[in-house]
Chain A
Amino acid sequence: MTDVLPSPGTTTGQKPAADAVSPLARFWREFRESTVAVVALVVVVVLGLLALFAPLIAPQDPYDLATLSLMDSRRPPGFVGTGGYTHILGTDPQGRDLLSAIMYGLRVSIQIGLAAGGVALVFGAALGILAAYLGGRIETLIMRIVDLQLSFPAILLALVLVALLGQGKAQLIGALVAAQYAYFARTAYGAATVERRKDYIEAALATPLSGRRVVLRHLLPNCLPPLIVVATVQIANSISLEATLSFLGLGLPVTEPSLGMLISNGFPYMMSGRHWISVYPGIALIILIVAINLVGDRIRDQFNPRLRR
C-alpha cells in the first residue's frame, strides 16, 4: 500500500516508555499512525456489526417469505412498498428490501469468510509447521503436494470442488478451505524452517520438554505474525471467491442469499436498466473486501522488518 510513512522522530517505538507497554498496545499505537488503515478498520468493524445485528436493525427479514410481496419486486430505490416503509436501496426480483438483503448477505459472506479462513489457517499452519518440525520424507511429501496445489488457480479448484461436493454451507466452506490451506501451509513452513534452526528451539528440544510442547509453546507463537497477515488476505479472498462461486450459481442455496447471490440475482435485470439490484450488493462487497485488504496491508507493513523503525 502507498501508506505515508510517518517522519522519523514521531515514532513511539523509540521512546523508552514504549517498552513497558504490552506488545498489543504497542502494535495498536503503530497501527494508529496510518489514517487509511484506521478508517479501513472502522469500516470493517461497522460492517461486522451491521452483519451481526442485522436481525435487529434490518427493516425486513428477507428470509421470511410471508413478509415478501411480489407487488414490491424490482422497485427502484426510494420506493414505498406494501410494507409501508421506504425501500432506501430498492427491492430485488423476489420483492425483498435490498438494504435488509444486503445486511443479511453480509452476514452470510462474513460467516463464510471467517469460517473458511479460520479452518484453512489451523489446517494449513498445522501441516506447514509439522513438515518443518519433522523434516525428512514427511516434509518432502507435504510440501510437494502444497507446491503442486499452489500452481493451480484457487478459483478453479474451488469451482470443481463445489461442483463435486454439491451445494450447501459446509460443502462451500470445505471447498474454500481446500483451495486456500496451501497458502497457510507454505507461509507456516517458511517461518517454521527459519525458527526451527534458531538456538532457542534447539535449546528447548535439549530439555526434557515433550516435542508437542516445544511445537505449541515455542515454535507456533513465533510463526504467528506472517500467518496473521496471510489470514487477513485470505479471509478477503474467501469472501471474494464465495461471491464469485455464488455468482456462477455454484455457491449457496438461494434461500440464504450471500452478497454474490444477490448480485447474480440482479444480473439479468441489468440489461433493462434495473441496475440497483446488482450494484448495491456489489458496492457492499467491494467496500468489505477492500477494507479488509487495507487493514491486512497495514499489518503486513508493521510485521515487515525492513520497514521497522
Chain B
Amino acid sequence: MRGFVIKRLLQAVVVMAAMSVIVFVGVYAIGNPVDIVIPPDATQAIRDEAIRRLGLDRPLWEQYWIFVSNAVQGDFGRSFVYNIPVLELIASRLPATLELVLISVISATVLGVALGVYAGYRPESRISKTIMALSVLGFSVPSFWVGLILILTFAVSLGWLPAGGRGDTVEILGIRWSFLTLDGLSHIALPAINLALFKLAMMIRLARAGTREIMLTDTIKFARAAGLSEATILRRHLLKMISIPIITVFGLELGSTLAFAVVTETIFSWPGVGKLIIDSIYVLDRPVMVAYLILIAALFVTINFTVDLVFALIDPRVRARRSA
C-alpha cells in the first residue's frame, strides 16, 4: 500500500510540473501584457521600464524559474489589472463561487436521488418516463441557454427574482456570504438552479440505474420476505447500497462544477472565481490566468489522487493493477 501511495504521489507531482510548464508557456505565448499596463501614448522609456519591472525582458526559462520558485512559496505575482497579489484576489472571490457550487451540487444530489430512486422503483409509471425524458433535456440543452431562459422567465417576464449580482451579504469570520440573507438567497436562486440542472440530470440517471439493479438483488427479496415495509426497505437498505457510487460522483462533480461555474457566473454576473477568469482572459491578465489554471489543475490532481486512494483502500485489486 505504501508503495502504491508513493508511486501515485510521484505521478501527481510529475503531472503538476508538466501542467505548470504547459500553462506558463501557453499563457505567456499570447499577446503582449505591457499594452494593458501602460497607456498607449507612453514613451519608449516608460515602456522599457514597465517591461523590465514585469521581468519580461528575461529569457522564458528564467521567467518560468522565477515563477515556480515564487509559486511554491504561495506567491503567484500581482494582477496586472487590480494590482493586488493574485492569490489574495482569487481568495476574495472564492467564497462566492463556493457557496454557489455547494448549494447547487447538494440540492441537485438530494433532489436527483429522490427522483432517480422513484424512476428506478417504478420504471413503467408515466411520472418516471417524464422524469427520464426531462433528464435527457438536462443533458442536451447547453447550460448558458438554460440560464438565459431562467433570466427571461423569472427576472424579466415575472419579475420575481433578480437577474444578477450577489445581493445583501452577511459577514462571518471576515468572509461575506449571500445565502444567509433573504435578498442574498433570492440572488443565488437562479444561478444555483442553472448550475444544478445538469448535475440533477446526471444524479437522476445514476440513482435510477443503481435502484433498478439493487431492487433485483437477494437483499431486497429477503427484506421483503422478512415483512419490512417498502418504505423501510427503500430508506434503510436501498439508499445505503446506492450511496457509494453517488458519494464518489458527488466528490468528482464538486471539482468539475467549480470549473463549470465559469459559464453560469458570467451569465448572472455572479462575482466569483469563474467570472474573474473570464474577465482576465478578455484583458490578458496573465498572472491571474496562470494562477487560476494551476490551482484548478492542483484541485483535479488532488481529487483524482484521493479517489484512487479511496478505491485502493476499498479494493485490493486496484492496488495490484495500478502499481504494476
Partner-B contacts on A (CB < 8 A): 1-2, 148, 151-153, 155-156, 159-160, 163-164, 166, 236, 240, 243-244, 247-250, 263, 267, 270-271, 273, 275, 278-279, 282, 285-286, 289-290, 293-294, 297
Of all chain B residues, the one with the shortest Cβ separation from A162 is B281
Does A282 lie within 8 Å of B145, measured CB to CB? Answer: yes
Q: A105–B293 Cα gap in the complex (Å)?
A: 32
Contacts of B141 in A (CB 8 A): 286, 289-290
Does A275 lie within 8 Å of B293, measured CB to CB? Answer: no
Does A293 lie within 8 Å of B139, measured CB to CB? Answer: yes
Interface 0/1 of B281-306, CB less than 8 Å to A: 11000000100010010001001100
Also in contact, A286 and B140, with CB within 8 A (given A153-B259, A249-B282, A278-B148): yes
Does A1 lie within 8 Å of B136, measured CB to CB? Answer: yes
Contacts of B132 in A (CB 8 A): 2
Some 28 contacts from A to B, beta carbons below 8 A apart, are A1-B136, A2-B133, A151-B300, A151-B304, A153-B259, A155-B260, A155-B263, A156-B296, A160-B26, A160-B293, A163-B289, A164-B30, A240-B142, A243-B142, A244-B263, A248-B266, A248-B278, A249-B282, A270-B148, A270-B151, A271-B155, A275-B152, A278-B152, A282-B145, A282-B148, A285-B142, A289-B140, A289-B142
Contacts of A160 in B (CB 8 A): 26, 289, 293
In the complex, how many residues of chain B place their beta carbon closer than 8 angstroms to a beta carbon of chain A? 39
Other than the known A163-B281, A243-B144, A293-B139, what 11 A-B pairs have Cβ atoms closer than 8 Å? A2-B132, A156-B262, A159-B281, A160-B26, A160-B293, A244-B142, A248-B266, A248-B278, A279-B152, A286-B142, A290-B141
From the candidates A1, A153, A271, name the one contacting B163 in the complex (CB within 8 A). Answer: A271
Interface 0/1 of B178-208, CB less than 8 Å to A: 0000000000000000000000000000000
Also in contact, A244 and B144, with CB within 8 A (given A2-B132, A2-B133, A155-B263): yes
Does A155 lie within 8 Å of B140, measured CB to CB? Answer: no
Does A290 lie within 8 Å of B140, measured CB to CB? Answer: yes
- Is B158 in contact with chain A by the CB < 8 A criterion? no
Of all chain A residues, the one with the shortest Cβ separation from B145 is A282
A49–chain B nearest beta-carbon distance, Å:
22
Also in contact, A164 and B144, with CB within 8 A (given A155-B263, A159-B281, A275-B152): no
Of all chain B residues, the one with the shortest Cβ separation from A163 is B281
Does B148 lie within 8 Å of A148, measured CB to CB? Answer: no
Also in contact, A270 and B262, with CB within 8 A (given A163-B30, A244-B142, A286-B141): no
Does B263 lie within 8 Å of A153, measured CB to CB? Answer: no
From the candidates A148, A163, A293, name the one contacting B140 in the complex (CB within 8 A). Answer: A293
Q: A271–B262 Cα gap in the complex (Å)?
A: 21
Closest 7 CB pairs of A and B: A163-B281, A240-B142, A156-B259, A153-B256, A293-B140, A153-B259, A290-B140
Contacts of B266 in A (CB 8 A): 248
Contacts of B155 in A (CB 8 A): 271
Q: A148–B19 Cα gap in the complex (Å)?
A: 11
Does A286 lie within 8 Å of B156, measured CB to CB? Answer: no
Contacts of B289 in A (CB 8 A): 160, 163
Does A248 lie within 8 Å of B263, measured CB to CB? Answer: yes
Also in contact, A293 and B136, with CB within 8 A (given A2-B129, A153-B260, A248-B266): yes
Does A286 lie within 8 Å of B145, measured CB to CB? Answer: yes
Also in contact, A164 and B259, with CB within 8 A (given A2-B132, A159-B281, A293-B136): no
Q: A154–B137 Cα gap in the complex (Å)?
A: 19
From the candidates B136, B140, B143, B300, name the one contacting A244 in the complex (CB within 8 A). Answer: B143
- Is B173 in contact with chain A by the CB < 8 A criterion? no
